[in-house]
Protein backbone atom coordinates (compact mmCIF):
# COMPACT_ATOMS: atom_id res chain seq x y z
CA UNK A 1 0.00 0.00 0.00
CA UNK A 2 1.31 3.42 -0.93
CA UNK A 3 1.23 5.90 1.91
CA UNK A 4 -0.16 9.31 0.93
CA UNK A 5 1.82 12.51 0.62
CA UNK A 6 0.98 15.22 3.17
CA UNK A 7 0.95 18.80 1.92
CA UNK A 8 0.44 21.52 4.52
CA UNK A 9 -0.35 25.15 3.78
CA UNK A 10 -0.89 28.19 5.95
CA UNK A 11 -4.37 29.24 4.83
CA UNK A 12 -7.37 27.61 3.11
CA UNK A 13 -6.87 29.56 -0.13
CA UNK A 14 -3.45 27.95 -0.56
CA UNK A 15 -4.89 24.53 0.28
CA UNK A 16 -7.61 25.02 -2.36
CA UNK A 17 -4.97 25.90 -4.95
CA UNK A 18 -2.99 22.75 -4.12
CA UNK A 19 -6.13 20.57 -4.22
CA UNK A 20 -7.02 22.01 -7.63
CA UNK A 21 -3.93 20.37 -9.06
CA UNK A 22 -3.05 17.49 -6.72
CA UNK A 23 -4.11 13.85 -7.06
CA UNK A 24 -6.89 13.49 -4.43
CA UNK A 25 -6.34 9.75 -4.15
CA UNK A 26 -2.75 10.09 -3.03
CA UNK A 27 -2.24 13.60 -1.66
CA UNK A 28 -3.69 14.87 1.63
CA UNK A 29 -3.85 18.67 1.84
CA UNK A 30 -4.46 20.61 5.06
CA UNK A 31 -4.18 24.27 6.12
CA UNK A 32 -2.50 24.45 9.51
CA UNK A 33 -2.22 28.17 10.27
CA UNK A 34 0.08 31.11 9.70
CA UNK A 35 3.59 31.28 11.13
CA UNK A 36 6.18 28.69 12.16
CA UNK A 37 4.60 27.83 15.53
CA UNK A 38 1.13 27.13 14.10
CA UNK A 39 2.68 25.27 11.19
CA UNK A 40 4.78 23.06 13.46
CA UNK A 41 1.89 22.32 15.83
CA UNK A 42 -0.57 21.60 13.03
CA UNK A 43 1.84 19.39 11.15
CA UNK A 44 2.74 17.46 14.30
CA UNK A 45 -0.95 16.85 14.99
CA UNK A 46 -1.52 15.49 11.50
CA UNK A 47 1.53 13.25 11.70
CA UNK A 48 0.39 11.90 15.07
CA UNK A 49 -2.96 10.80 13.65
CA UNK A 50 -1.93 9.50 10.23
CA UNK A 51 0.87 7.85 8.26
CA UNK A 52 2.48 9.62 5.33
CA UNK A 53 5.39 9.00 2.98
CA UNK A 54 6.63 12.61 2.97
CA UNK A 55 5.69 16.14 4.02
CA UNK A 56 5.67 19.25 1.84
CA UNK A 57 5.18 22.81 3.04
CA UNK A 58 3.45 24.64 0.18
CA UNK A 59 2.03 28.07 -0.50
CA UNK A 60 2.74 31.51 -1.88
CA UNK A 61 5.74 33.60 -0.93
CA UNK A 62 7.74 36.75 -1.51
CA UNK A 63 10.60 36.45 -3.97
CA UNK A 64 13.96 38.16 -3.62
CA UNK A 65 14.37 40.55 -6.58
CA UNK A 66 16.89 39.30 -9.08
CA UNK A 67 16.58 35.75 -7.75
CA UNK A 68 12.89 34.72 -8.00
CA UNK A 69 10.51 36.93 -10.00
CA UNK A 70 6.79 37.24 -9.41
CA UNK A 71 5.05 34.22 -10.93
CA UNK A 72 8.01 31.88 -10.42
CA UNK A 73 7.87 28.51 -8.71
CA UNK A 74 10.49 27.88 -6.04
CA UNK A 75 11.81 24.72 -4.41
CA UNK A 76 13.81 25.05 -1.19
CA UNK A 77 17.18 23.44 -0.81
CA UNK A 78 17.02 24.56 2.82
CA UNK A 79 14.31 26.05 5.03
CA UNK A 80 15.92 28.62 7.30
CA UNK A 81 14.52 30.26 10.45
CA UNK A 82 15.67 33.73 9.49
CA UNK A 83 14.69 35.56 12.68
CA UNK A 84 15.51 32.86 15.27
CA UNK A 85 18.39 34.28 17.27
CA UNK A 86 19.41 37.45 19.07
CA UNK A 87 20.20 41.06 18.28
CA UNK A 88 23.61 42.35 19.35
CA UNK A 89 25.38 45.70 18.96
CA UNK A 90 27.30 44.10 16.10
CA UNK A 91 24.25 42.70 14.34
CA UNK A 92 22.02 39.64 14.35
CA UNK A 93 23.28 36.29 15.64
CA UNK A 94 21.51 33.12 14.58
CA UNK A 95 20.55 30.50 17.12
CA UNK A 96 23.36 28.38 15.67
CA UNK A 97 25.91 31.09 16.37
CA UNK A 98 24.56 31.39 19.90
CA UNK A 99 25.04 27.65 20.40
CA UNK A 100 21.37 27.01 21.23
CA UNK A 101 20.30 24.84 18.30
CA UNK A 102 19.92 24.84 14.55
CA UNK A 103 18.10 27.31 12.34
CA UNK A 104 18.47 25.37 9.09
CA UNK A 105 16.70 22.22 7.88
CA UNK A 106 17.80 20.67 4.60
CA UNK A 107 15.23 19.40 2.16
CA UNK A 108 15.36 15.67 1.55
CA UNK A 109 17.80 15.41 -1.37
CA UNK A 110 15.99 12.57 -3.15
CA UNK A 111 12.61 14.29 -2.86
CA UNK A 112 14.08 17.63 -3.93
CA UNK A 113 15.69 16.07 -7.00
CA UNK A 114 12.44 14.37 -7.97
CA UNK A 115 10.47 17.60 -7.58
CA UNK A 116 13.06 19.53 -9.57
CA UNK A 117 12.76 17.01 -12.39
CA UNK A 118 8.96 17.01 -12.36
CA UNK A 119 8.50 20.79 -12.11
CA UNK A 120 10.44 22.24 -15.04
CA UNK A 121 11.67 25.78 -14.58
CA UNK A 122 11.42 25.76 -10.80
CA UNK A 123 14.03 27.94 -9.12
CA UNK A 124 16.01 26.06 -6.48
CA UNK A 125 17.48 27.87 -3.49
CA UNK A 126 17.02 28.63 0.19
CA UNK A 127 13.66 29.78 1.54
CA UNK A 128 13.77 31.95 4.67
CA UNK A 129 11.04 31.45 7.27
CA UNK A 130 10.07 34.63 9.12
CA UNK A 131 7.48 35.38 11.80
CA UNK A 132 7.28 38.94 10.46
CA UNK A 133 7.53 39.24 6.70
CA UNK A 134 9.57 42.00 5.13
CA UNK A 135 8.01 45.42 4.57
CA UNK A 136 10.98 47.74 4.09
CA UNK A 137 13.89 47.94 1.70
CA UNK A 138 16.32 48.04 4.63
CA UNK A 139 15.16 44.65 5.87
CA UNK A 140 15.06 43.24 2.34
CA UNK A 141 18.67 44.29 1.77
CA UNK A 142 19.77 42.85 5.11
CA UNK A 143 18.13 39.49 4.42
CA UNK A 144 19.51 39.32 0.90
CA UNK A 145 23.00 39.94 2.25
CA UNK A 146 22.65 37.56 5.20
CA UNK A 147 21.21 34.76 3.05
CA UNK A 148 22.87 35.01 -0.36
CA UNK A 149 21.34 31.72 -1.55
CA UNK A 150 17.81 32.68 -0.48
CA UNK A 151 15.30 32.98 -3.29
CA UNK A 152 12.12 33.53 -1.25
CA UNK A 153 10.69 34.30 2.17
CA UNK A 154 7.62 32.73 3.75
CA UNK A 155 6.28 32.03 7.23
CA UNK A 156 5.90 28.27 7.73
CA UNK A 157 8.58 26.11 6.08
CA UNK A 158 10.99 25.80 9.00
CA UNK A 159 8.16 24.92 11.40
CA UNK A 160 6.87 22.20 9.09
CA UNK A 161 10.38 20.88 8.57
CA UNK A 162 11.00 20.56 12.30
CA UNK A 163 7.68 18.78 12.81
CA UNK A 164 8.41 16.36 9.96
CA UNK A 165 10.92 14.75 12.33
CA UNK A 166 12.74 12.43 9.98
CA UNK A 167 10.17 12.04 7.23
CA UNK A 168 11.28 13.29 3.80
CA UNK A 169 10.55 17.03 3.70
CA UNK A 170 10.43 19.67 0.99
CA UNK A 171 9.15 23.23 0.60
CA UNK A 172 7.32 24.45 -2.51
CA UNK A 173 6.46 28.10 -3.05
CA UNK A 174 5.10 30.26 -5.84
CA UNK A 175 5.95 33.94 -5.89
CA UNK A 176 3.16 36.50 -5.50
CA UNK A 177 5.22 39.60 -4.70
CA UNK A 178 8.79 40.85 -4.36
CA UNK A 179 10.48 40.95 -0.96
CA UNK A 180 10.65 44.58 0.15
CA UNK A 181 8.29 47.51 0.67
CA UNK A 182 4.71 46.26 0.81
CA UNK A 183 2.72 47.29 -2.25
CA UNK A 184 -0.49 45.28 -2.29
CA UNK A 185 -1.44 46.71 -5.67
CA UNK A 186 1.61 44.99 -7.17
CA UNK A 187 0.84 41.56 -5.71
CA UNK A 188 -0.18 38.85 -8.16
CA UNK A 189 -2.12 36.42 -5.99
CA UNK A 190 -4.22 34.97 -8.81
CA UNK A 191 -1.13 34.14 -10.82
CA UNK A 192 0.66 32.68 -7.79
CA UNK A 193 -2.29 30.45 -6.91
CA UNK A 194 -2.52 29.27 -10.52
CA UNK A 195 1.19 28.43 -10.50
CA UNK A 196 0.71 26.55 -7.23
CA UNK A 197 -2.05 24.43 -8.80
CA UNK A 198 0.13 23.69 -11.81
CA UNK A 199 3.10 22.63 -9.65
CA UNK A 200 0.86 20.56 -7.37
CA UNK A 201 -0.24 18.43 -10.31
CA UNK A 202 3.29 16.98 -10.34
CA UNK A 203 3.63 16.22 -6.64
CA UNK A 204 2.48 12.62 -6.61
CA UNK A 205 4.43 11.81 -9.77
CA UNK A 206 7.55 13.05 -7.99
CA UNK A 207 6.80 11.36 -4.67
CA UNK A 208 4.94 8.23 -5.71
What percent of the chain clears pLDDT 70, i.e. is strictly above it? 100
Return the CA Rg of the chain.
16
How far is 67 from 73, CA to CA, in rounded Å? 11
Distances (CA, A) of 135 to 11, 88, 132, 162, 178: 20, 22, 9, 26, 10
Domain boundaries, the chain: 5-207
Distance CA 75, CA 11 (A): 19
| pLDDT tens track for 15-46 | 999 999 999 999 999 999 999 999 999 999 99
Confidence at 92, pLDDT banded by 50, 70, 90? confident
Confidence at residue 1, expressed as pLDDT on a 0 to 100 scale: 55
Q: What digits encode the pLDDT tens for the residues 157-198?
A: 999 999 998 899 999 999 999 999 988 877 899 999 999 999
Q: Which pTM does this prediction carry?
A: 0.94
- The CATH code that applies to domain 5-207 is 3.40.50.1580
Helices (H) and strands (E) in the chain, counts: 8, 10
Amino acid sequence: MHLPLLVVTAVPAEADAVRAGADPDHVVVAPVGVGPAAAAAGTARLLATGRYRAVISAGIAGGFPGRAPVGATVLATRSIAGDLGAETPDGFLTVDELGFGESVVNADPTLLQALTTEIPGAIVGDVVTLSTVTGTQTTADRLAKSYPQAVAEAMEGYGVAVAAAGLPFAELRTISNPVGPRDRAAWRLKEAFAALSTASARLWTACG
